[in-house]
Chain A
Amino acid sequence: MIDALPLWLLVAIKSLVLLIIVITLFAYTMLAERKVLAYMQLRVGPNKVGPWGLLQPAADAVKMIFKEDLTPSTADPLIYRLAPFIAVFTALLAYAVIPFSQGEHGPWSIANVNAGILFVFAITSMGVYGISLAGWASGSKYPLLGSVRATAQMISYELAMTMSVIGVILQASTTSLSGIVEAQSRLWFIVPQCLGFLIYIITAVAETNRVPFDLVEAESELVAGFHTEYSGLRFGLFFIAEYINMITVSCLATLLFLGGWNGPGAAGHPLLGLLYFVIKVFAFLFFYIWLRGTLPRLRYDRLMAFGWKVLLPLATLNLLVTAIVVALWY
């Protein structure tokens, strides 16, 4: 029955389903963050709206929609309105190639492209435009400072991130995401690429501008950073983009280092594989929230020094060793 549908309709249906799943996941990641953070700080967290506060995201969404959408008089109106859309657009586009499980007819994804990992990096590297343009277009000093910081931070850490992943690509000798997962059917890449994994998770936190690397919106010095002037639904779009990026890097970490949908008994059972995949992604999201509950924010000069003088040389070393090992023994 599925084969009878035209390709464009199939892609449209897949995209729509995935969009709904990702947006729902965003809402509940946000709730989970508030709940987990609250328990870590010996509080209860949201518990009034619905059982255990489960309807809180809906209440938040309604609040966002009904708030007034303000544009500062000093802002550049066109870019100011465009920036949140760029942020969400690039965040969502990455899901076009991310596979979630392996079925009989190939991986469960919208498109299974050969340059999958490159596509994800290309798209996520464009995410920085949302933030930098938003800060510039606000026409106010704190957003501008926040966005300049964001730009410098994201392009610095992106380098180390890409370098850490090239080791995985070398070892799997493919750039297709499903191919990389298949290459891990015996041994997850977290074992041979443990240094790469470490660099990846650190840079991933920095790329998504989360604690302890959230200098972009350091509230003690920059009010709220790049989105100071935004309100209502446009602010909500930045929020959505941040959490979706979090989920994206968690998916990538699972695919590249934790064996994706591989697990005991998962071969030939796509649904079990999907379950393994989701568990691994959730473990990462929990790790993110745990970091936020534990670590203080870095100082800005230390952040840059750490990225350029520690992470990048380590990533280069990792790449070099991996390349030599792959060239000699594979």
Chain B
Amino acid sequence: MLVFVILAVALIASAIGVVSAKNPVHSVVALLANFAALAVLYLTLSGEFLAMIQIIVYSGAILILFVFVIALLGAGTSVGDLGPNRLGKVLTPTVIVGALALVVLGYALLHAQNPSGGGMLGAATVLPGLANQIPAVTITPGTEGAFGSIADFGRALFTTYLLPFELTAFVLLIAVIGVVVLAGGGAPERRKAAEREPIAKPERRMEPTR
């Protein structure tokens, strides 16, 4: 319980840090702390594999690209340089949607308190249709035993959730091809033509004063 409280406080504090930091790199560091705390939270729920994947994928791969881009594209840009503040226009819809989400979530959580209310987190009560669509998790206790072990995870991924898994892989493949097309500089012929072109003379940046 104590561990949970410490982690929860760290999670919320770092999340606030991500949003409120003036400097984007400070946001990234706060996000790093957030991911780490979340991974430890998974560990306390004995989701060993999930915790490791959380760190490897999010902290190890995705977040480092944030650092990379921010470092290259100049983190000196402050909020004021990005044009007029548009927060006022989106504030009202954000608050309304947020309040609605809070009500739904609170309702679901309240119903989860009594087991007869139905289902995990009361999802069946709030959204009966959705609950029917989610396939039942049939994890056979494998030789590795505990819930969240790699063997069980893999078995569920390649049997119950095979179609979503393959679809996700396909979507990622499309993204990879898209990146290659965008970054590859077009077809080989066009690239050759571009190489043959003489290098453009630099524009004269300063007009002679009269």
| Among candidates A113, A121, A133, A152, residue contacting B29 with C-beta atoms closer than 8 Å | A133
**Consensus secondary structure, chain B interface:** helix
Q: A115-B49, A118-B49, A126-B60 are in contact. Are A132 and B67 (CB under 8 A)?
A: yes
B48 contacts A135, C-beta separation under 8 Å: no
Q: Does A119 count as interface, using CB distance less than 8 angstroms?
A: yes
Closest to A82 in B: B29
Q: Does B14 count as interface, using CB distance less than 8 angstroms?
A: no
Chain A contacts to B: CB under 8 angstroms: 76, 78-79, 82, 113-115, 118-119, 121-123, 125-126, 128-129, 132-133, 135-137, 144, 147-148, 151-152, 155, 158, 175
Q: Does B61 count as interface, using CB distance less than 8 angstroms?
A: yes
A136 contacts B71, C-beta separation under 8 Å: yes
A121 to B57, CA, bound (A): 11
The interface bits of chain B over 11-42 (1 if a CB of A lies within 8 angstroms of the residue's CB, else 0) are 00000000000010110010010000001000
A11 to B23, CA, bound (A): 38
B25 contacts A136, C-beta separation under 8 Å: yes
B153 to A: closest C-beta gap in Å: 10
A113 to B39, CA, bound (A): 15
B49 contacts A125, C-beta separation under 8 Å: no
B174 to A: closest C-beta gap in Å: 20
The interface bits of chain B over 69-90 (1 if a CB of A lies within 8 angstroms of the residue's CB, else 0) are 0111001000000000000000
B52 contacts A152, C-beta separation under 8 Å: no
Q: A115-B150, A118-B52 are in contact. Are A129 and B32 (CB under 8 A)?
A: yes
Complex interface: chain B residues within 8 A of A128 (CB): 60, 64
B65 to A: closest C-beta gap in Å: 8
Q: Does B55 count as interface, using CB distance less than 8 angstroms?
A: yes
Q: A78-B26, A115-B48, A158-B60 are in contact. Are A132 and B149 (CB under 8 A)?
A: no
Complex interface: chain B residues within 8 A of A155 (CB): 61, 64-65
Of A76, A129, A144, which is in contact with the most chain B CB atoms at under 10 Å from its CB? A129
A114 to B147, CA, bound (A): 13
Closest 5 CB pairs of A and B: A125-B60, A122-B55, A118-B52, A136-B71, A115-B48
Q: A114-B150, A155-B64 are in contact. Are A135 and B52 (CB under 8 A)?
A: no
Complex interface: chain B residues within 8 A of A121 (CB): 52, 56, 60
A147 to B71, CA, bound (A): 9
A137 to B32, CA, bound (A): 16
B64 contacts A129, C-beta separation under 8 Å: yes
Given contacts A114-B149, A133-B29, A155-B61, 15 further A-B contacts (CB under 8 A): A78-B26, A114-B48, A114-B150, A115-B48, A122-B55, A123-B55, A129-B32, A129-B64, A132-B67, A132-B68, A133-B25, A147-B71, A151-B67, A151-B68, A158-B60
A316 to B: closest C-beta gap in Å: 14
